[in-house]
Structure 1
Amino acid sequence: MTDKEILLRVGTRIRELRKEKGLTQEALGEKGGFHFSYVGQIERGEKNVALLNLAKIADALGVDISQLFAPTNREHNEESQADIQEITYMLNQQNPQKIALAKNVVREIFNYK
């Protein structure tokens, strides 16, 4: 992973968390003690933000700093789509009895009746 990819990943995650909290860049900046333009630069991956500033951002968002490094929602969606495609491929290779068994297992897992 390149430096730019790391900065973009963290910036995207900060943007997601900020929006989930219903905060503007200005509001997050005020809570963290930053200018809103600095928040925007971080979210766009333009600034290599210091660890102590990341801690302030996490505090302003009301999350643990580790949440700033969690996969973004987009990455989760891409992983989920890949898993669904793999499951579909596997099911397409099976006979009807095994497909019915798999359906019952999935229903049990999700308590879906």
Structure 2
Amino acid sequence: MEAMVLKMVGQRIRDLRRQTGLSQEELGEKAGFHFSYIGGVERAEKNITLVNLQKIADALGVPINDLFVYSKYTSNKNNDKDNLLSSIHEKLISMEKSDLRKVQLFLSDFF
């Protein structure tokens, strides 16, 4: 069970890194780690500390809690609402701040 958390967080970091267009080397440089450490985290070979998770989240430009949004990596069946929320969240993460403001205004006006 412990290894499953490492695997899901590692996969999430890999996905976020790829979404931002960073290589392992570039992410490592931004976070202050060697690229081999980033690779070890992504492959669940490293038991990463919370301090290091925060450094990686900062380097990726996401809040640390985004590293734990890994419902798509679990084998549990998600209901339709969870799937929809996850899909929306993935789209929002990749958006620029100015576009997020537009979405916020739209939602405020719509609801």
TM-score by length of 1: 0.64
Structure 1 position 53, deviation (Å):
0.4
SS in structure 1 of the partner of residue 78 of structure 2: helix
Paired residues in the alignment total: 81
Whether 1:18 and 2:17 are equivalent positions in the alignment is: yes
Whether 1:3 and 2:2 are equivalent positions in the alignment is: yes
Whether 1:37 and 2:36 are equivalent positions in the alignment is: yes
SS in structure 2 of the partner of residue 46 of structure 1: coil
Structure 1 position 74, deviation (Å):
4.5
Hey, what does 1:67 align to over in structure 2? 66
Structure 1 position 72, deviation (Å):
5.0
Structure 1 position 71, deviation (Å):
1.7
Hey, what does 1:57 align to over in structure 2? 56
Greater radius of gyration (CA) = 1
Q: Which runs of 4+ in 1 moved over 2 A?
A: 72-76, 78-81
Structure 1 position 73, deviation (Å):
4.2
Hey, what does 2:26 align to over in structure 1? 27
Q: Separation in 1 of the partners of 2:35 and 2:6? A: 18
One-letter amino acid of the structure 1 residue matched with residue 42 of structure 2: E
One-letter amino acid of the structure 2 residue matched with residue 6 of structure 1: V
Structure 1 position 79, deviation (Å):
3.1
Structure 1 position 58, deviation (Å):
0.1
Q: Deviations over 1:37-87 (max 9, x none)?
A: 0000000001000110000000000000000001254559x6368x99xxx
Hey, what does 2:109 align to over in structure 1? none
Contact 1:16-1:72 within 8 A present in 2 as well? no
Give unmatched runs, 5+ long, in structure 2: 84-111
Q: Separation in 2 of the partners of 1:37 and 1:66? A: 23
Hey, what does 2:102 align to over in structure 1? none
SS in structure 1 of the partner of residue 65 of structure 2: helix
